Amino acid sequence: MAEPSMAAERSMAEILRRRAAASPDKLAFQFLLSDGAEGPRCTYVELDRQARSIATALRRITSPGERALLLYAPGLDFIPAFFGCSYAGVIAVPAYPPRPEQPWHGVEGLTRLTLDCRAGVVLTGGDYAADIERLCRPVAPLDGVPWLDTSDLTSAARGGWSREAEDPAAISHLQYTSGSTGNPKGVVVSHGNLMHNEYMIALCSGHFETAAAGICGVGWLPFQHDLGLVAGMLQAVYVGGPLVLMSPVTMLQRPYVWLEAISRYRGYTSGGPNFAYDQCVRRLSLEERASLDLSCWKVAGLGAEPVRVATMDDFAEAFEVSGFRREAFYPSYGLAEGTLMVAGGDRETQPPVVAVSTAALERNEVTVVSDTAADARLARTLVGCGYAWLDQQVLIVDPTARTPLPPARIGEIWVSGPSIARGYWNRPSDTQETFQARLNGVGEVPFLRTGDLGFFHEGELFITGRLKDVLIVRGQNHYPHDIELTVQGLDPALRSDAGAAFQTEGDAGERLVIVQEVLRPGKTFDADALARRVRQAVAEQHGIEVHDVVFVRHTTLPKTTSGKIQRHACKAAYEAGRLIPYVPKEPPRL
């Protein structure tokens, strides 16, 4: 069968308009409530009419090119708001509203974001619109900015269209990065960037065929995150397939609802970071797992920093009884600066796994060892994340010399191609440094410097860590992720993917600090004894002396929106004395 060609439309707005005309009554989105029951839903013609009414209202109070801050709780209200911005030529800026139960957690980040983008209008709607407006109106940069409650608008059959909606060079939205190694920046994503990336995702995932057959995807990641927005909401409209949605809170609190939705709706595509799969393994009973039929799940997307082999092994074993096949795992690599997807592999094949010498990694070299179950002190097991698609180019580059490296060397991942975003909003120097990098001696093509480290092996891209996170001890490189895994394997009370290893400056130079969340400790939990075990294990397996071990309360470490630990923020909190230490509960007195 011939490969589907890229859509003739120049923007996602034009795609939606075509879907509404060709398949007006086809289901576009179905939202599930916290118990899995069906909630709101919308068809393509309903979505188009809502988007037009929002666009018409926007044209009355703002101009094309203005920024619109989108503040929505989980649900369907965000979707017509985003498309309404596209119809009107207004730049959408998705942002997380503060949670009513913990408003102070989100206000600082929202303040920084709104100062950066200088929004000209705020859009909100749905059941929590009044709460969101009450919490966010006092944010200083929003003083005097008009608010638009999109749930109060009358749907429109026409109107609100702008020429910018048809211009591939026009800006679609600002995707604020999750900031795992620095302050969030607004990535400028054009309509052309978006269309190219959506086509690439559809090709590698097989979504053209599944959408034609009416097979759906199931999503829970928030639209404020590039994975939920680009690979979820917009990908569904691009291929014309229905998407079943739920709140991220539902997945976190009741992971059975996520997997039951895949089973019930025969979901072809769904996924998330490591912690989502780990949560299902921990929380679902054998009876619940046996009640599911996951044989329909062909693309189990998996992306984190980096993908953990143990996550795949544990989930595949636990859910074999549900009909899940390990071949469904689809590890990939991407980032907001690349719109989303950068590399992905072949569907329905075993994800490539290699064990590499730890000693070689410390020298930025790659030596593959034969035993993938090798001792952690001697080898590290890595998962391949595919290769570049279409006209994209991915290189491994020496970050200092700016020259390409051979396959057996570790370097910074550089990317070029039509999916690469235009830069950072109002940050010309950062844009020049990150988006306009050129190879030494052959500097015609600009590359995106991802800041990620990796290598190629047999054509597959393997990620080893972040350039800024690498720990250098006595001239040797150590990856914090490896040290964190060593610590988390010592005791079941230490939560996986919830620790940070970093260096702080001392009188004698850089010192290693370990910060780790504690989850459901047993009655005999001894923090002092466990700290000694941490020091011993890190010394034995990595040859590094640990200066300090700090155990903190569950869910208190700073993370990105996709669940990645923000090591720079952990370090800042440690040095400022802001970490919340774990304090064992005293037994009740008799």
Please provide the DSSP assignment of 191-219 as one string.
Answer: HHHHHHHHHHHHHHHTHHHHHHTT--EEE
For residue 155, CA distances in Å to 23, 64, 121, 164 come to 18, 21, 20, 22
Beta bridge partners of 275: none
Question: Cβ(93)–Cβ(68) under 8 Å?
Answer: yes
Q: How many CB atoms lie within 10 A of CB 2?
A: 4
* SS3 of residue 478 by DSSP: strand
The pTM score is 0.86
Query: Looking at residue 348, what is its pLDDT?
Result: 84
Tokens representing 104 are: 């102070």
Q: How many CB atoms lie within 10 A of CB 555?
A: 11
User: What does CATH list as the number for 471-576?
Assistant: 3.30.300.30
Task: With CA atoms as reference, report the closest residue to 215 among 223, 203, 207.
Answer: 207
Tell me the torsion sign for CA atoms 78, 80, 85, 91. positive
To which H or E segment does residue 548 belong?
Answer: strand 546-552
Query: Looking at residue 288, what is its pLDDT?
Result: 98
Please provide the DSSP assignment of 507-529 as one string.
Answer: TTEEEEEEEEEE-S--TT--HHH
For residue 67, CA distances in Å to 99, 171, 435, 446 come to 23, 10, 22, 27
Beta bridge partners of 188: 174, 423
Q: How far apart are CA 551 and CA 290, in angstroms?
A: 36
Query: Looking at residue 542, what is its pLDDT?
Result: 82
Strands (E), 259-376: 269-272, 299-302, 329-334, 341-344, 353-357, 368-369
CB proximity list for 305: less than 8 A, separation 6 or greater: 180, 463, 465, 466, 481, 564
Q: How far apart are CA 512 and CA 469, in angstroms?
A: 12
Query: Looking at residue 181, what is its pLDDT?
Result: 45
Beta bridge partners of 395: 414
Query: Looking at residue 155, what is its pLDDT?
Result: 60
To which H or E segment does residue 446 belong?
Answer: strand 442-457
Domain ranges of the chain: 34-166, 471-576
Task: With CA atoms as reference, report the closest residue to 569 among 68, 70, 249, 178.
Answer: 178
pLDDT less than 70: residues of the chain: 1-2, 100-105, 155-160, 178-182, 304-305, 371-377, 474-475, 507-509, 522-523, 561-563, 585-590
Task: With CA atoms as reference, report the closest residue to 136 among 174, 173, 109, 175.
Answer: 109
Question: Cβ(463)–Cβ(454) under 8 Å?
Answer: yes
Query: Looking at residue 328, what is its pLDDT?
Result: 97
Long-range contacts of 279-282 (CB under 8 A, 24+ apart): 279/251, 279/252, 279/255, 280/255, 280/256, 280/315, 280/318, 280/319, 281/314, 281/315, 281/318
pLDDT digits (tens, 9 = 90+) for 267-310: 999 999 888 999 999 999 999 999 999 999 999 999 866 788 98
Bridge pairing between strands 243-245 and 27-32: parallel
Task: With CA atoms as reference, report the closest residue to 549 among 505, 500, 478.
Answer: 500
Longest dimension (CA), the chain: 77
Beta bridge partners of 472: 477
* Among the four given CATH numbers 3.30.2320.20, 3.30.710.10, 3.40.50.980, 3.40.640.10, the one describing domain 34-166: 3.40.50.980
